[in-house]
């Protein structure tokens, strides 16, 4: 099949010559297969899994929160810079946009619903592992549903052999009901000969919490998006993303926190390293909607550039329709400082070793947050191997 998807739309358009308003995924001459989500290991108690959920099933899951969203009578940016009513959105808005929704439905991708039952706080994670063989072109879709006062942790790992080619597209939608918490971890170490997209969309109700950790370390070209709607009062979204791009790898991402409820809190942290001729585009938006009084949002990016030939585009955005809010953003982008290099060289560490040390330190600062020691060790081994 051949197809071009417009994705990662910046919520507030900027100058076209910056090439940051959106991006395109070109899918051509490949045979894509839609697969059930490969849940591995023993399922923890209090957790249920349903394969082959229909889109109608998904709409029922999100029905109550979508009614609350519609009641706010707010508009959101459409894919072409226009606006569309919130109640016209599909089951949940995602970071990469509506064309991914349409593509997944067109390809009849089976949706796996992973649910934590009401009041069940489950510490043991649900494990999902995609192991791609050479030539695999796979699509997968999940809904993670934390019912009232529950907690669930889902760890997703994407792996392949170093020389495998192929395609992997994943869409994950989240719903944290009142007082619930979702911990989502994604680790991607697939081959540089592969193309990858990873699309996330979530909704938090009153006093709910979504915690996301995302490690993007492989794939030749990666598109990532995450959009979380902080619908209820006193709800929280925390995100930590680590990325490493080398050779001619490209990483294009779009993160949005839609803060609608009162006293919501969002915190997005991004730490990355660019080497060789890598290209990275970051879009990060804090959107304080009318009625979000008392809300706080913070987005921080820290990118280390280790080659004069890399291309880095960073677009931090704050949109504000409410007066009583606190929004902050910042970006630290640059090379290793002379003071840092001098300090390390004075202790017998040459420049090349110093660079490797800094790369590992940045990636492991995110990896250490993952609640699985075996995956942390695999990430450390992967980074040592590619360096």
Residue 150, token pair as written in the block: 């529950």
The C-alpha angle 261, 332, 308, rounded to 5 degrees, equals 135
Q: Between these two residues, 78 and 275, which has the higher pLDDT value?
A: 275
Per-residue pLDDT of 90-137, as tens digits, reads 578 999 999 999 999 999 999 999 999 999 999 999 999 999 999 999
CB 98 within 8 A of CB 90: yes
What are the backbone dihedrals phi and psi of residue 17, each rounded to the nearest 5 degrees, phi first? -65, -15
pLDDT at 75: 55
pLDDT of 376 > 80? The answer is yes
- Could you tell me the residue ranges of all domains in the chain? 3-341
Residues ≥6 apart with Cβ < 8 Å to 101: 90, 94, 171
pLDDT at 76: 52
> How much of the chain exceeds pLDDT 70, in percent?
93
Instruction: Report yes or no on whether pTM surpasses 0.75.
Output: yes
Q: Which of 293, 249, 287 has its CA nearest to residue 268?
A: 287
Per-residue pLDDT of 249-308, as tens digits, reads 999 999 999 999 999 999 999 999 999 999 999 999 999 999 999 999 999 999 999 999
Cα torsion 220, 161, 364, 251 to 10°: value is: 10
| Rounded Cα gap, residues 118 and 209, in angstroms | 15
Q: How confident is the model over 350-361, as a mean pLDDT?
A: 84
- Between β-strands 3-7 and 23-27, what pairing exists: parallel, antiparallel or unpaired? antiparallel
| Rounded Cα gap, residues 303 and 119, in angstroms | 40
Name residue 237's beta-bridge partners: 210, 266
DSSP state of 108: T
pLDDT at 350: 78
Per-residue pLDDT of 235-244, as tens digits, reads 999 999 999 9
| Mean pLDDT, the chain, integer | 91
């Amino acid at each position: 099949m051949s197809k071009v998807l417009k994705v990662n739309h910046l919520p507030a358009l900027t100058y076209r010559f910056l090439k940051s308003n959106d991006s395109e995924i070109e899918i051509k001459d490949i045979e894509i297969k839609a697969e059930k989500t490969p849940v591995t290991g023993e399922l923890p108690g209090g957790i249920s899994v349903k394969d082959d959920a229909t889109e109608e099933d998904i709409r029922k899951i999100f029905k109550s929160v979508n009614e609350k969203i519609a009641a706010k009578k707010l508009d959101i940016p459409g894919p072409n810079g226009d606006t569309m009513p919130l109640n016209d959105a599909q089951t949940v808005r995602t970071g990469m946009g509506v064309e991914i929704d349409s593509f997944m439905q067109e390809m009849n991708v089976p949706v796996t619903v992973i649910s934590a039952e009401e009041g069940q706080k489950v510490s043991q994670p649900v494990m999902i592992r995609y192991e791609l063989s050479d030539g695999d072109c796979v699509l997968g879709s999940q809904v993670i549903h934390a019912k009232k006062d529950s907690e669930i942790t889902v760890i997703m790992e994407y792996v392949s052999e170093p020389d495998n080619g192929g395609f992997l597209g994943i869409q994950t939608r989240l719903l944290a009901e009142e007082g619930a918490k979702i911990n989502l971890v994604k680790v991607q170490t697939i081959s540089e000969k592969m193309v990858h997209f990873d699309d996330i969309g979530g909704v938090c109700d009153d006093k709910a919490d979504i915690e996301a950790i995302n490690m993007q370390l492989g794939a030749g070209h990666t598109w990532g998006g995450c959009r979380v709607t902080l619908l209820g009062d006193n709800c929280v979204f925390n995100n930590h993303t680590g990325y490493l791009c080398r050779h001619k790898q490209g990483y294009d991402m779009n993160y949005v926190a839609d803060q609608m409820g009162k006293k919501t809190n969002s915190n997005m942290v991004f730490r990355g390293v660019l080497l060789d001729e890598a290209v990275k585009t970051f879009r990060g938006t804090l959107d304080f909607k009318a009625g979000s009084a008392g809300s706080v949002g913070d987005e921080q990016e820290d990118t280390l550039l280790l080659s004069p030939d890399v291309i880095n585009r960073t677009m931090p955005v704050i949109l504000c329709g409410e007066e009583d809010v606190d929004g902050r953003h910042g970006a630290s982008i640059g090379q290793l400082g002379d003071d840092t290099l001098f300090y390390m060289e004075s202790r017998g560490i040459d420049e090349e070793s110093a660079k490797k040390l800094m790369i590992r330190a940045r990636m492991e600062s995110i990896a250490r947050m993952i609640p699985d020691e075996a995956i942390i060790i695999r990430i450390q081994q992967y980074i040592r191997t590619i360096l």
